Amino acid sequence: MLVRTKVATISPAETEGVGKKRLWTMAHQDALIGYLFILPQLAGITIFVVVPLVLVFWYSLHEWNVLAGNFDYTGLDNYRQLFADPVLPEILRVTGIFSIGLVAFNMSLALLLAILLNQKLHGIILFRTLFFSPVVVSLVAWTIVWGFLLQKDGGINGLLAVIGVEGPNWLRNETSAMVSVIIVQVFKNVGLNMVLFLAALQNVPGELYEAALMDGASRWQQFLRITLPLISPTVLLTAIITIVGSLQVFAQIAVLTQGGPGTSTTVLVYYLYQQAFQFHLFGYGSTLSILLFVIVAILTFAQWQLRKKWVFYEA
């Protein structure tokens, strides 16, 4: 407004200068507000993510036993220990099985549920609510109930016994313990992926199916050629979130199996917690943290690369 009133009284050349200066300061003021707005987040990330990440690396170069009270620079010794750790291959195998099993089961169940919920049926909202409800149940409460259900004489074996099947002692047997922790986690959170898939399915234009129907495509062909390609961005996004999430599963394992029996459910995060906070080996714990970070980073990067090849359609 000010600029405009000045236009009448001063020469065009001057106006231009004033206008520019005003714009310049306005842009500056705007940028300043921008910096102020991001300041809390940026400061938080610096203090709680960037600096700790650097420190983890620094700690990983030390032998640091909290109980013994030492903190000695040992260079790459912890990394040598990491590669020589006789337990670590087993831990990585367990982590891999857990993550792959979890992601495969979670994604396929989520897709199945979403397809069922996408049918025009009465009362479908009720089922959506039921499938989603474990998401809002407190994680540890959910885990405790399942721990109770999975006892040798617990509810699941009780129900199996009614139909004449003798169930295993779920949490005390290596294979069934792994199956148990995967199942408990999948039923807890599959509702999230389910609603994301459902939203994606509902965004697929109906005309495409009509056209396919006219061309004589079967249901299965329609699913493979239309549905799957069109929802692939959502599939990718949820796959990333689910895989990275699977590497962070801690509470369920701490409550259900404490990593056992033996090391059969000791995933990397749980091993890291044991080394750092139960055996007080902060140096080696930090080395394991770096390993976890590298794995997550590689997975995320690989998936973003895959995205270029695999995703047919961008929402």
Partner 1 sequence: MKHSLSARTKVAVYGLLCVLSVPFVFPTWWMVTSSLKPASQIFAFPPVLFPRDADLTTYSKVFSLQPFATQYFNSAYIAAVVTLGTMAVSSFAGYAFARIRFPGQNLLFMVVLLGLLIPAEVTIVPLFQFFLKFGLINTHWPLILIPVFGAPSVFATFVMRQFFISLPAELEEAARIDGLGRIGIFWMIALPLARPALAAVAIFTFLHSWNLYLEPIVFLSSPEKFTLPQALTQFVDAYGGPMWNIQLAAATLTAFPVLLVFVIAQRHFIEGLAHTGLKG
CB of 243 to partner 1, least distance (A): 12
38 binds partner 1 (CB under 8 A): yes
Q: Which of residues 278-297 bind partner 1 (CB under 8 A)?
A: 282, 285-286, 289-290, 292-293, 296-297
β-pair type (70-73, 62-65): antiparallel
53 binds partner 1 (CB under 8 A): yes
- Identity of the residue, 178 or 256, whose beta carbon is nearer to partner 1 in the bound complex: 256
Specify the stretch interacting with partner 1 by CB under 8 A; choose among 28-36, 73-81, 97-105, 168-176: 28-36
CB of 236 to partner 1, least distance (A): 12
3-state class (DSSP) for residue 63: strand
Question: Cα-flanking dihedrals φ and ψ of residue 72, to 5°?
Answer: -115, 135
Q: Which of residues 173-192 bind partner 1 (CB under 8 A)?
A: 183, 187, 191-192
Amino acid at 37: F
- Identity of the residue, 150 or 178, whose beta carbon is nearer to partner 1 in the bound complex: 150
Q: Which of residues 121-160 bind partner 1 (CB under 8 A)?
A: 121, 125, 127-142, 144-149, 151, 153-155, 158-159
Question: Cα-flanking dihedrals φ and ψ of residue 63, to 5°?
Answer: -90, 120
Closest CA to 312 of 220, 212, 236: 236
Q: Which of residues 212-251 bind partner 1 (CB under 8 A)?
A: 219, 222-223, 227, 237, 241, 244, 247-248, 250-251
- Give the separation between CA 315 and CA 303, rounded to whole angstroms: 17
- Identity of the residue, 10 or 32, whose beta carbon is nearer to partner 1 in the bound complex: 32
Amino acid at 185: Q
- Identity of the residue, 3 or 140, whose beta carbon is nearer to partner 1 in the bound complex: 140
Closest CA to 133 of 264, 141, 147, 255: 141
Specify the stretch interacting with partner 1 by CB under 8 A; choose among 11-19, 74-82, 107-115, 302-310: 107-115
- Identity of the residue, 75 or 206, whose beta carbon is nearer to partner 1 in the bound complex: 206
Residue 253's CB: how many other CB atoms inside 10 A? 24
Q: Which of 176, 242, 269, 274 binds partner 1 (CB under 8 A)?
A: 269
**Crossing angle of helices 228-246 and 88-117, rounded to 10°:** 140
Contact letters for partner 1, residues 196-215 (x by CB under 8 A): x-xx-x----x--x------
Q: Which of 103, 176, 243, 273 binds partner 1 (CB under 8 A)?
A: 273
- Give the separation between CA 250 and CA 256, rounded to whole angstroms: 10
Largest CA distance in the chain: 99
- Identity of the residue, 44 or 262, whose beta carbon is nearer to partner 1 in the bound complex: 44
- Identity of the residue, 120 or 308, whose beta carbon is nearer to partner 1 in the bound complex: 120
Specify the stretch interacting with partner 1 by CB under 8 A; choose among 15-23, 43-51, 96-104, 173-181: 43-51
Q: Which of residues 55-74 bind partner 1 (CB under 8 A)?
A: 55-56, 59
CA distances from 226 to 66, 90, 223, 253, 255 (A): 58, 41, 6, 39, 43
45 binds partner 1 (CB under 8 A): yes
Alpha helices in the chain (DSSP H): 2-7, 12-45, 51-59, 77-84, 88-117, 124-136, 139-149, 155-162, 174-202, 206-214, 219-222, 228-246, 251-256, 268-273, 282-310
30 binds partner 1 (CB under 8 A): yes
Closest CA to 255 of 244, 268, 243, 265: 265
259 binds partner 1 (CB under 8 A): no
